[in-house]
A and B are shown apart, each in its own frame.
Chain A
């Protein structure tokens, strides 16, 4: 294993990076802030191993953590740089709550569907689970994700701090279309209100076509019950659409002929544009990508072969291509897409790079099946204005410096 020592050094750099890049030079893996791995690990072939257990734990040497920002009304960012593949462990899935995480007793859970329906109906959790189920891998993303990289970006931003408000899970549940057939939608119905059972009673209007298409009421996440932070016991999943519409702790769906104009689709989650308008119901996540390695706070210990790796995703379907540039965008190389490449799901891309040790800028751009190409920052600002908000899907760039440090950079 010729590159095993390199891998280990990168690991050390990544872990130490959690307490600041400069700390790498002083700190070994045993000194990571807040963790307490064993200081002396005996030869594991000379002592009996640990016994069986009812519930597994991470290795004490691994300490991936979300970064919570803003208390019960805020969000917590997933540690993208610490993840591999495409699935986010449920306890690291990003969070965004409008009034904290509600405690809901599943035995008392009810989903009410009413409004323009033939049979207003209450489903309990057992009812939902009794319907034919489906499982799909989908990404979720807060539409504010990437905002830290759109204007006034600092160089010491990690993938987590730029884009940590996205995660992928395998979601299991019942298609919303199944439930709509069950209650019988009346002619003229065009929208539905999805409402949560949290203290914000968070509500969004959803075009009914999405319900007939691929909307899901999910009670399972990565093989177990949906986590409380992700909507236990049941949530709406609208594949490819901004996170806020994927209403958690779903308790009510009202079918109607017009949108309801809740706060979260008027004063919030609308995109002010440079032409003096604001875009409403901007549901779909356009294609985007971010290199998660090498990226701040990682320090490359030496020139040579390094695998650039990252994730790409599109709310409009499959990622068809990811291009990577290691010279500031002058030349582009087609990255390898790691199977499975699924619609509306994170896609892992990889590209082997022989770094010659000189300063350069690395970047990625995603292309989806509609032919959409992830725009540059300049293109996005030209289209929407520097003051716009939400849906920041411009190209992310990383400046690799001669000393091996990697800094986030707006410009190439």
Chain B
């Protein structure tokens, strides 16, 4: 109410000011096509996953062609981020041991994140170039290599959100609040 009054007053006197405004009407409505073209995120409940599917063996073939040069033949050799490895399986001791390497299998809390990330950012030299079946295949390959799904499991919009990652329960919300306590 107050803001409306302020705007009316400004309009009447033709002056200028710093009114708290409700809407100024700049910008234009987004089209459905624009939103669809950019809306590529995938949420843990599967929202955003497209049609398509892939298996570990299909993914293995793509991995060899498009990923192995950076992440190693089996996902452990590098030179870039190590993707495969379940050790250590007990205790989640990453905060105690700085030598431990965080991988998809021992650290990533959500399987859907794999789809989201590979689809938006990989491979490094051709980001955004993978088709849905390729992404599903690569996700399936990495989950299989990390001993999270079987070698015949099919990953698609229904099965991927149901995959429970080993480290999922280890993630907690930030409890720092300022004040004298060191957390």
Contacts and interface: CB of A to CB of B under 8 A. Distances in A.
A132 interface: yes
A201 B95 contact: no
Interface in A256-285: 256, 258, 260-263, 266-267, 270-284
Nearest to B108: A267
Interface string B164-177: 00010011111111
Interface string B101-139: 010100111101100110011001001100000000000
B41 A203 contact: yes
A151 interface: yes
A274 B109 contact: no
Nearest to A261: B110
Interface centre among A110, A113, A262 (most CB of B within 10 A): A262
**Interface of B, helix, strand, loop or mixed by DSSP:** loop
B178 A277 contact: no
A385 B159 CA distance: 36
Interface in B142-183: 167, 170-180, 182-183
Contacts of B95: 271-278, 384-385, 387-388
A252 interface: yes
Interface stretch (B5-13, B30-38, B51-59): B30-38
A12 interface: no
Interface string B23-62: 1111111100011001111111100000000000000000
Contacts of B117: 262-263
Interface in A104-138: 110, 112-114, 119-124, 127, 130-132
Contact of B27 (A121, A256, A267, A280): A121
Nearest to A72: B124
Interface stretch (A18-26, A58-66, A303-311, A371-379): A371-379
Nearest to B181: A372
Interface residues of A, number: 73
Interface residues of B, number: 60
A183 B102 CA distance: 40
Interface in A198-256: 199-203, 251-252, 254, 256
A178 to B, nearest CB: 8
A357 B29 CA distance: 69
A276 B107 CA distance: 11
B110 A120 contact: no
B3 to A, nearest CB: 10
Interface in B59-106: 91-100, 102, 104
A195 B24 contact: no
Given A127-B26, A132-B21, A284-B176, A263 B116 contact: yes
Interface centre among B25, B43, B100 (most CB of A within 10 A): B43
Contacts of B42: 260
A132 B96 CA distance: 49
B2 interface: no
B103 to A, nearest CB: 9
A280 to B, nearest CB: 5
Given A120-B29, A261-B112, A277 B34 contact: no
A195 B41 contact: yes
Contacts of B25: 182
Contacts of A276: 91-93, 95, 170
Interface string A49-71: 00000000000000000000000
A383 interface: yes
A181 B108 contact: no
A99 B109 contact: no
A99 B127 CA distance: 9
A368 interface: yes
B178 A385 contact: no
Contacts of B35: 112, 114, 120
Nearest to B120: A201
Nearest to B116: A262
Contact of B121 (A98, A181, A386): A98
Contact of A200 (B113, B121, B171, B172): B121
A181 B22 contact: yes
A38 B116 CA distance: 54
A375 B39 contact: no
A373 B182 CA distance: 8
Contacts of A262: 41, 113, 116-117
The 4 closest A-B pairs by CB, nearest first: A370-B178, A385-B95, A272-B94, A272-B95
12 contacts: A114-B30, A120-B30, A127-B26, A182-B25, A193-B41, A251-B38, A260-B42, A267-B113, A272-B92, A274-B96, A281-B174, A375-B182
Interface of A: 73, 98-99, 110, 112-114, 119-124, 127, 130-132, 151, 178, 181-183, 193, 195, 199-203, 251-252, 254, 256, 258, 260-263, 266-267, 270-284, 286, 316-317, 368, 370-373, 375, 379-380, 382-388
